[in-house]
Amino acid sequence: MSFILGITGGIGSGKSAATQWFESQGITVIDADIVAREIVEPGQPSLQAIQQSFGDWVLLEDGNLNRRALREYIFQFPEARQTLEKITHPAIRQSIIQQLQQAKSPYVILVSPLLFETNQHELVHHTLLIDADEQIQLQRASQRDGQNEEQIRKIIAAQMSRTQKQQLANDTVLNDGLLEHLHLQLKPLHLKYLQRAEQVF
C-alpha cells in the first residue's frame, strides 16, 4: 500500500486550506467528514441500521437522515451516541480503507478533524497537524460558517486539546499567517512525503 498521510487540526485551523494545496500538487485526499456523510445516504446499510435502532423518525420525508432530530435526540439521551457510533464508525472506517486503497497518487492523504480521537490515525503511516491558536480558529471558523463564537467554542472544547495533538503528531505546521506562508511550509513536507512514498512498505 502506498504511503498514507493523516492530516488533522481543530476547527478553523486550516485543514481544508492545506489539503487544497496538496490536491493542487496531484495528491488524492480522502475526507473523513465526507465519508461520514456518504455512509448514511439513502440506500446505504448504515442508514437502514440507524432507522432500525432509533425508529422511522430519523428519516426525513425524502428518505434522507434527519440530522437535526438525531442531534437533538443525542443531546437529550447522551448514551444514544454509542448506539449510533457502533453503527457508523465501522462503516466509515471500512469506506476510508477502501478509498485509500483505490487512490492512485504518489501518496494519499486522509484528513479528519478527529483523527486521533476516533483512532483513525491507525490507518495512516504519518501524521501532520495543522495548528492555530484558539483566537484564530474562532475568527476563521465563525467567518466561514456564519456560526457564533459560542458554538465554535463548544466544538473546540469537545475536540482533543491543541497541546495533546501537538504531542501526538509527527509533523506540525503553524497556520497563523498568510496562506502563502502555509504553502511555503507545506512544500518541503510534500517533498519529504514523496520520498517516503518511494520507499517500499
Instruction: Give contact residues for ligand ADP (rule: CB under 6 A).
Output: 9, 11-17, 140-141, 144, 175, 178-179, 182
Distances (CA, A) of 127 to 1, 13, 91, 110, 192: 17, 15, 22, 9, 13
Backbone angles phi, psi at 112, to 5 degrees: -150, 130
Q: Judge whether 187 is annotated as a binding position.
A: no
Nearest to 177 by CA among 142, 131, 138, 146: 131
Q: Judge whether 157 is annotated as a binding position.
A: no
Rounded least distance, CB 10 to ligand ADP, Å? 7
- Nearer of residues 46 and 112 to ligand ADP, judged by Cβ: 112
Q: In the numeric block, which cell numbers belong to residue 176?
A: 497563523
- Nearer of residues 181 and 192 to ligand ADP, judged by Cβ: 181
Rounded least distance, CB 14 to ligand ADP, Å? 4
Count CA within 13 A, CB hemisphere, residue 98. 8
- Nearer of residues 86 and 144 to ligand ADP, judged by Cβ: 144
Question: How far is it, in rounded angstroms, from Cα 70 to Cα 55?
Answer: 11
- Nearer of residues 21 and 73 to ligand ADP, judged by Cβ: 21
Rounded least distance, CB 174 to ligand ADP, Å? 10
Question: How far is it, in rounded angstroms, from Cα 152 to Cα 150?
Answer: 5
- Nearer of residues 60 and 179 to ligand ADP, judged by Cβ: 179
Q: Judge whether 15 is annotated as a binding position.
A: yes
Q: Judge whether 16 is annotated as a binding position.
A: yes
Q: Judge whether 63 is annotated as a binding position.
A: no
Rounded least distance, CB 44 to ligand ADP, Å? 25
Rounded least distance, CB 86 to ligand ADP, Å? 27
Question: How far is it, in rounded angstroms, from Cα 10 to Cα 13?
Answer: 5
Residue 105 and residue 3 in contact, taking contact as beta carbons nearer than 8 Å: no
Question: How far is it, in rounded angstroms, from Cα 71 to Cα 49?
Answer: 17
Annotated binding site: 12-17
Annotated binding site for ATP: 12-17
